[in-house]
Amino acid sequence: MQQFFEALMTGLAVGAIYAPLALALVLIYKATEVINFAQGEMAMFTTYIAYALLTHPHFGHTFSYWPAFFATLVIAFVFGVGLQRVVIRPLERASVLTVVMATIALLVILNGLAAWIWSPELKFFPSPFPTSSWVVDGVRISKQDTGTFGVTIACVVVLWLFFRFTKLGLAMRAGAVNPDAARLLGVRTSWLLALGWGFAAMLGAVSGMMTAPTNLLSPSMMQAVLIFAFAGAILGGLESPVGAVAGGLGLGVLLSMLGTYVHPVTTELQLPVALAILLIVLLVRPAGVFGRAVVRRV
């Protein structure tokens, strides 16, 4: 039982890294039906920005962790909005495939740019949480894992409140369902898409800053995470934000459990297992666990 709870906690912490990235993918997919392949590299790039804030003096002083964390979120938002305006918006009338190709180009560019600016070698990235653990009834609970999970849940809740209770959030949901109708009501949908990219970039930054302390910071840090996040998003249903979060967390727990109880599933096998899950879901339940097949009256 102790082994089970420890595997569960580890899994939730790992899933808490996948979940924000999965949610970022879903946000953009729901609004534009585009899978943003650059999502992982955007996250990596903003994590480097956090690294720069933490290690180099800016205006005479270096940031401590939490100011750097929130400053990075703001920078990530501006970065996401900017990318949408400069790279994606000119392709507004182009096919989905063209936009997907543009995101793949972005992936390569951001990866190369990060390696060029900060050098490709691995870097240590600090964690705001201590490495010690609590012991409750013989179960070790890592403070780091708990913190990672807490940060993700906080971000998801804030975003949910925004979409549920604000006019702008409502307009973004309406624009995702029926952009033409939203425009006829005076909604500037093009700006809402940019806003969506901003939020996606912020979620990516959270995922990146939570990944870097354990996986070390490098330009290729987020590539595997993106695939896990993608599998998580498919598992939950690409159309469902709740599903993306649940799918990301669920995938983390599943992989952790397999690693604990089914010994052949070592670290090397995690990626193939995640992709196998992705394929099985696509074959058995293409809409995902939380997705619904689209049914409408005509």
Partner 1 sequence: MAVLLELNDVSARYGQVQALHGISLTVGEGEVVALLGANGAGKTTTLRAVSGTVRRSGDVTFAGKRLGRAGPESVARSGIAHVPEGRGIFAELTVWENLRMGAYLRRGRPDFSAVLAYFPWLEARRTQQAGTLSGGEQQMLALARAFLLRPRLLMLDEPSLGLAPLVTREVFRVVVDLNEKEGLAVLVVEQNAAVALQAAGRAYVLETGTVAVEGSADELRANDAVRTAYLGY
Nearer Cβ to partner 1 (138/186): 186
**Alpha-carbon distance 287 to 247, whole Å?**
12
Task: Give the nearest distance from C-beta 179 to partner 1 in angstroms.
Answer: 10
To partner 1, the closest distance from the beta carbon of 160 in angstroms equals: 15
Question: Cβ(197)–Cβ(219) under 8 Å?
Answer: no
Q: Which residues of 271-283 are buried (b: 16+ CB within 10 A; e: fewer)?
A: eebbeebbeebee
C-alpha to C-alpha distance for 181 and 190, rounded to whole angstroms = 13
Please identify, using beta-carbon distances, which residue of 100 and 170 lies nearer to partner 1.
170
DSSP state of 187: -
Rank residues 28 and 205 by Cβ distance to partner 1 and give the closer one. 28
180 vs 268, which CB is nearer to partner 1?
A: 180
Q: From CA 37, how far away is CA 260, in angstroms rounded?
A: 31
Q: Least CB distance from residue 189 to partner 1, whole Å?
A: 8
Structure tokens at 266: 């070592």
Task: Tell me the CA distances in angstroms from 258 to 8, 9, 22, 235, one per residue in order.
Answer: 11, 14, 21, 17
Cα dist from 156 to 177, 190, 200, 202, whole Å: 21, 24, 11, 11
Q: Which is nearer to partner 1, 122 or 168 (CB)?
A: 168
Compute the least distance from the CB of residue 185 to partner 1, in Å: 5
**Shortest distance (Å) from residue 293 CB to partner 1:** 13
Question: Interface residues with partner 1 (CB under 8 A)?
Answer: 167, 170-171, 173-174, 177-178, 180-189, 296-298
Q: How far is the CB of 178 from partner 1 (least distance, A)?
A: 5
In the bound state with partner 1, the residue whose beta carbon lies nearer, of 89 and 173, is: 173
Which structure tokens are listed for 224?
């595997």
What is the amino acid identity at position 67? P
